[in-house]
Amino acid sequence: MPDTDDPSPADRSTRSDRNRNRRPSSDDFGAAVRAVVLAALLLSTTALSVPALVSAGDRSAVVRPSPSTVEAGPGETFAVEVELQSDGGHGGVGVAAVDFVAQYHPDYLEITDLERGPWLEQGNETTVRPERTLAHDDGTAILEQRRDPPAGGATGNARLATMTVRVADDAPPSTTTINVSETGVEPVRGWPLALYAQDVTVEIDGGGESVPASDFDHPDPDADALEAAADDGASAGNTSHDEADSSEDSNSSDTHSGSENGAADEPVDTGDEIPGFTAIIGGLALGFCLVRTLQRS
């Protein structure tokens, strides 16, 4: 017996003709237009965001200690010069302020002095204002420097600071570190620069057990908080906060413009959006709408 559910050749031909002759509805046309427009917007947004991200990734700062490895015995003192290299922030703006942060294990080392270098003096003439905080009990030393006024900021490669470090008298043979990765580099405007930092490795009495700086529980590297904690009675005698001297000028503030008029510094503008961030969010939103539209059409 023939299968009655199977359409005859004539029926199949009729259905095919109907499909070919059916005109698209207004809903179909509208969905197609929306899909094309959204696709174009998504492609243009992505194209704009990629160069912005590449440009933002190129804006960084590199901190290099010299020497990066030191051999010293208990009770000995040594110096480490810290170099900074940076081309500034997004759009070619210079650096307005640098907060150099060095963290160490206080049972093995002590940073007894931080002396600023000439790095922030590069660029247009201005006054560099430094402040130093030595918080030995917290294993932290901070050297804050800012240009007043920023005057376009500084860029280049030069010495940022010099650390004077003393090994503890009772330090056993070991290998420890001084970590500088908490350093902050602020451009005249925009977000802080990405930082690439190298630790200082200290081999005490020939080296031995590895005791990195991270083995000690450091507080947040905030100069005001460290000073306040010391003033509250923990150990005020082991925390100092003062204006740092430069090896090239014993004055606490180095004025290169020859002006001491006390002009207010330009604020560091951190209101700029991350380059490419808004574009990426917009692209993702448009992509989601495109998928939803295609699913409904």
Residue 200 burial (10 A CB sphere; 0-12, 13-18, 19+): buried
Domains of the chain: 71-255 (2.60.40.680)
Enter the pTM of the model: 0.64
As a whole number of angstroms, the distance between CA 29 and CA 26 comes to 5
Q: Note the pLDDT tens digit of each residue in 159-182.
A: 999 999 999 999 999 999 999 999
Q: Which amino acid is at 24?
A: P
pLDDT band at 59 (very low <50, low <70, confident <90, very high): confident
What is the mean pLDDT of the segment spanning 137-146?
98
- Residue reference for tokens 């696709």: 39
Q: Note the pLDDT tens digit of each residue in 81-106.
A: 999 999 999 888 999 999 999 999 99
Q: Are 213 and 176 in contact (CB under 8 A)?
A: yes
Dmax over Cα atoms in the chain, in whole Å?
112
Say what the pLDDT of residue 223 is.
75
What is the mean pLDDT of the segment spanning 246-258?
42
- Residue reference for tokens 């590297």: 221
As a whole number of angstroms, the distance between CA 115 and CA 245 comes to 6
